Structure 1
Amino acid sequence: MKIKAFIPNFVTLLNLFCGSIAIILVVNNQFVLAGVFVFLGIFFDFFDGLLARKLNVQSELGIQLDSLADMVTSGLVPGLIMYKLLELATNSQGINLNASWSDHMFWSGVKFNPVPFLGLLITLSSAYRLARFNLDEDQQTYFKGLPTPANALLILSLPLILEFQNNDITNATILNPIFLIIITLISTYLLNSPVKLFALKFKTYAFKPNAVRYIFLILAVVLLFVLQFAAIPLVILLYILLSLFNTIK
């Protein structure tokens, strides 16, 4: 195998490596550091395809490897983050789970709370989305449903908001189990929704054919500068709204 052909795959493996580290960190409740590795993984995910096109070494192996890496970094990690947030929310608020459908159960003396496992719906939906993407030849210039990296950033933003923009209102909202379950269901739907979303792929850098992309990037930078991590959900919403506008115009 030519070294040139392996370069994009090596970058993809760096994505997988970052995702694997992020899993270990999330399990140990180190969300901020996990976020660093998720951001790095998504960075590598963006550039592996770009390198493959620039070097003209696109391959079926690279496509499959890319999805496998995404499944870890942008599929398993956000599912685990939501699991951890739901676990924290159901414990920290002292909810009487014995009086609800999701009461504590005991298996061989081990206390078991099924509510946090709802977060893994994100992981299952991500797997289904990636499998469909690999079989859909139409998704070259657009995405059908929210891409897994964008969804991972949406979920990751929640613990980062708790950590860096700490206030009573946001904390109470994010650590509300109902809110987290609703976000999980929205995430699950968006990943496999029929909505067509534009891809951030530039065939040319002229403004007119890329107007929606430039507008999105400019507004996203402004929102992130002003609102920091709290801007991430708004950026995802902006992405969806601009895509809808771009589709119907």
Structure 2
Amino acid sequence: MTLKSTKIQSFIALSDVISLLNMTSGFLSIVSTINHDFYLASIFMLFALMFDSVDGWVARKINRNDELGFGKNIDSLSDVISFAAAPGIFIYTIGTTISNSPYILTTLVSLLIFICGVLRLTRYNAIADYINFNGFIGFPIPGIAVILSAYYLTGAFDIYIALILMTVVSLFMISNFKYPKLDNKLLIGAGAILIILIILNVPLTIANISIPPLILLIITLYCLIIGLIKK
């Protein structure tokens, strides 16, 4: 490999640009969290999910040549920002803003999210080419960001319930449970519509509970327990 061939233009493709948009959304979520704008932080995590959902599809459509693994690495590094760092910082920061919140427990759970996220992605990259299974081992990492953001956006957020949820989901990410690839078009379509309704802030509420994020939360939790059902 010559020095000239290491120019960034030689590596980056359209699908990688989309992965960078995923990472950008995760970074903006972190910035919003630092500014205590938890609503916007949640929205940016959902944007990250949208970009992460299409980068692989785009790579296949353009016949992405990724012999050196550039695309796989940029995708994983982007996921670390959006689905490990962003949720971890979110739960830590929101926990510190709530009076009488368990500071030490909040810190430990936020660290657990980050550690399990990194372990989940590293294992995936290590075994992806060696397992005979068309799916995922361990709960896919974007799910933790969806669960946290959707739960917050329902308007019924409780720090103790959130800490329990994040602990369970983090452990499921590094579990040996098998998860099929999501190819149910009806479920994908419903999820996309719900995210659009959430981003557009369509006022659909019952008893001060926002319905679109509630339904999205239920769907994602259903996807979480599939690993237990099909173990």
Structure 2: runs of 5 or more not aligned: 1-7, 198-203, 205-210
Give the match for residue 150 of structure 1. Answer: 143
Q: Is the 8 A contact 2:18 2:52 kept in 1?
A: yes
Q: Is the 8 A contact 2:106 2:163 kept in 1?
A: no
What letter is aligned with 2:107? F
Length-normalised TM-score, structure 1: 0.71
Shift of 1:58: 4.0
Inter-partner Cα distance in structure 1 for 2:182 and 2:11: 25
Larger Rg: 1
Q: Please point out which of 94, 98, 111 is paired with 1:120.
A: 111
Shift of 1:233: 2.9
Q: Is the 8 A contact 1:151 1:187 kept in 2?
A: yes
Give the match for residue 25 of structure 1. Answer: 32
Q: Is the 8 A contact 1:122 1:188 kept in 2?
A: yes
Shift of 1:22: 1.1
Using the TM superposition, name which of 145-154 and 226-235 deviates more: 226-235
Distance change >3 Å, CA 180–CA 243, structure 1 → 2 = closer
- Superposed CA RMSD in Å reads 2.9
Shift of 1:218: 6.8
Give the match for residue 152 of structure 2. Answer: 159
Inter-partner Cα distance in structure 2 for 1:218 and 1:25: 28
What letter is aligned with 1:117? T
> Within the alignment, does 1:82 sit opposite 2:91 as a pair?
yes
Inter-partner Cα distance in structure 2 for 1:54 and 1:215: 22
What letter is aligned with 2:56? G
Q: Please point out which of 171, 175, 184 is paired with 2:166.
A: 184
3-state SS, counterpart of residue 200 of structure 1: coil
Q: Is the 8 A contact 1:216 1:242 kept in 2?
A: no
Aligned pairs for 1:230-241 (under 5 A) are: 230-241=214-225
What letter is aligned with 1:52? A
Give the match for residue 65 of structure 1. Answer: 74
Q: Please point out which of 95, 109, 120 is paired with 1:129.
A: 120
Distance change >3 Å, CA 140–CA 31, structure 1 → 2 = farther
Aligned pairs for 1:39-50 (under 5 A) are: 39-50=46-57
Structure 1: runs of 5 or more not aligned: 96-101, 103-112, 163-169, 202-212
Deviations 1:143-195 (A, max 9, x none): 11111111111111232122xxxxxxx35xx13x3x33322220221111111
What letter is aligned with 1:69? S
Distance change >3 Å, CA 197–CA 38, structure 1 → 2 = same
Using the TM superposition, name which of 137-146 and 36-45 deviates more: 137-146
Q: Is the 8 A contact 2:144 2:170 kept in 1?
A: no
